[in-house]
Structure 1
Amino acid sequence: MSQSRGGPKGNFDLGKYIIVKVRKKNLYFEMIADPEEAWKAKQIINVLRKQKKDESELELDEILHNSEINLSDIYPTYDIFNNVKKAIRSNEEDLMGAFQTTEGNQVAAHFLLEGEFSWTQEQRQKWIEKKKKQIITILSRNCINPQTKKPHPPKRIEKAMEEAKISINIDKTAEEQIDSVLKMIQVVIPIRMETITMAIKIPALYAPKAYNTVDKYAQVKKSEWQTDGSWVGLVSLPAGLQMELLEKLNNLTHGKMQSKLINN
């Protein structure tokens, strides 16, 4: 049996750790985990599940061999308990019957897939705020006000989300929630997701460095280097990034770049 890595002795003070619980065959099993590391791993697992659309044994292997998930960072010990706070460890027979293994790391992977994580309200709120900021960033970079053709400031989008009483789902990625959030705030402010196409010309003196900037913000659809060393390109990018890109290019070229919006 390969459980322990310096596990708790006697009554255990959880401190910064949380309890993860799994119920199998009318038995309860518990492990202790670092909430931050467990949270990161759960986000990766959510992506894996959406890709595979099942919870097969292969998925368990992917957890064990996933370079982005380090079980030893998540669990301070591989000890499995019936009751963590009373330091009552699970016996091998129960573990084998429930998980078909007594290996601590394999059971730990099962806990990531099947466990109930006792996040505190403070932890949940922290991750909600983090996901909320991600959503706001995506919307501000990809959307515009169709009335002014300019992006909304992040603060305006945040206020619209509050007015629309939007609830952030911590179990879904920011990207998965964009469509529903956008639909809800459209009742509050004029906003839509839009991609634009621009023609850009950069003088030879600034072309190499400016091209790198363009490539960071936009998809280069056509690219031509002129005989005089200048660069001419046709690019597409989220409408919300247009002003930011033009500002950077104007600063870089001291106002000597040229751009033209192409009707899609």
Structure 2
Amino acid sequence: MADKLSIVRLIIEGEKFEILVKPDPALEYKMGKRTDISNILASDEIYTDSSKGNRASKEKLEKYFRTSNTIDVARIILEKGELNLTSEQRRRLVEEKRKQIINIITRSYVDPKTHLPHPPLRIEQAMEECRVSIDPFKKAEDQVKSVVDALRSILPMKSERLKFTLIVPAQYTAQSYSVIKSMGEIIKEEWQADGSLKVIIEIPAAIQANMMDRLASITKGTAQAVMMR
């Protein structure tokens, strides 16, 4: 049974507290996908060393958690403590986070010589070459800068942004607006008398072609896009 459980550990003022949990439900809780802990805990015991079976005393729980209710204490440990991931969980999370980081880089950075984004496969290969470390719990957005700094030793990269004036005919504004908004920062928008939409938008240079393609598809080629100098 022990090999099917994970440990969540919380250290307070040098004192260690542990609970035993079911790995996948516990990970879902840590990622905000669960709120109920009843099916997460393997038991309602609070340990100071689960491997030795040493339980935390009621007095120690009162001192550090201001309650001796083990469910309340377990919730605090689960929320604030560190989950010991299984190797499969770590592999899965790191891979998912890696893909998110690569996607952000391809959308936000270009090769300064060609002004085009590096292909995702090339970025992935460079990350392996540089032995970039991915934190499975840290947001992808918060890791991009350190990853890019590492990749610049072998890949020329530049964060470049472009401004466009977009004009979308009235019959396509409803379908186009959410797409335009997701592409970048809308600096100004004006609804014209004929119902058309005029937008000034700033986007990462790397997604220029994608924006043009999506707008052309939605508006059947009738949208206008003019780069601003």
Does TM-score exceed 0.5, indicating one fold? yes
The reply to whether residue 101 of structure 1 matches residue 89 of structure 2 is: no
Relative to structure 1, is the Cα distance of residues 21 and 228 closer, same or farther in structure 2, using a 3 angstrom cutoff? closer
Quote the offset at 1:255 in angstroms: 1.6
Structure 2 CA distance, aligned partners of 1:222 and 1:22? 48
Q: Counterpart of 2:104?
A: 138
- SS at structure 1 position matched to 2:4: coil
Return the letter of the residue paired with 2:134: I
Tell me which moved more, 107-116 or 117-126.
107-116
Tell me which moved more, 192-201 or 30-39.
30-39
- SS at structure 1 position matched to 2:38: helix
- Conserved? CA contact 1:43–1:173, under 8 Å: no
- Conserved? CA contact 1:195–1:238, under 8 Å: yes
Structure 2 CA distance, aligned partners of 1:179 and 1:83? 38
Structure 1 CA distance, aligned partners of 2:9 and 2:186? 50
Return the letter of the residue paired with 1:17: L
1:176-204 CA distance string (max 9 Å, x none): 21111111112222222222211112223
Return the letter of the residue paired with 2:139: T
Supply the RMSD in Å over aligned alpha carbons: 3.1
Q: Counterpart of 2:117?
A: 151
Structure 1 CA distance, aligned partners of 2:20 and 2:216? 54
Q: Counterpart of 2:85?
A: 119
Return the letter of the residue paired with 1:219: E
- SS at structure 1 position matched to 2:195: coil
Q: Counterpart of 1:79?
A: 45
- Conserved? CA contact 1:199–1:233, under 8 Å: yes
Alignment match of 1:176 (pick from 132, 136, 142): 142
- Conserved? CA contact 2:28–2:34, under 8 Å: no
Tell me which moved more, 130-139 or 108-117.
108-117
Quote the offset at 1:70 in angstroms: 4.1
Tell me which moved more, 199-208 or 87-96.
87-96
Quote the offset at 1:250 in angstroms: 0.6
Structure 2 CA distance, aligned partners of 1:25 and 1:193? 43
Q: Counterpart of 2:192?
A: 226
Q: Counterpart of 2:206?
A: 240
Structure 1 portions without partners, runs of 5+: 1-12, 45-66
- Conserved? CA contact 1:142–1:240, under 8 Å: yes
Q: Counterpart of 2:6?
A: 18
The reply to whether residue 194 of structure 1 matches residue 165 of structure 2 is: no
Structure 2 portions without partners, runs of 5+: none
- Conserved? CA contact 1:217–1:245, under 8 Å: yes
TM-score (norm 1): 0.72
Q: Counterpart of 1:160?
A: 126
Relative to structure 1, is the Cα distance of residues 157 and 24 closer, same or farther in structure 2, using a 3 angstrom cutoff? closer
The reply to whether residue 35 of structure 1 matches residue 1 of structure 2 is: no
Structure 2 CA distance, aligned partners of 1:228 and 1:25? 66
Q: Structure 1 vs Structure 2: percent identity of aligned residues?
A: 33
Quote the offset at 1:81 in angstroms: 3.7
- Conserved? CA contact 2:5–2:22, under 8 Å: yes
- Conserved? CA contact 2:27–2:83, under 8 Å: no
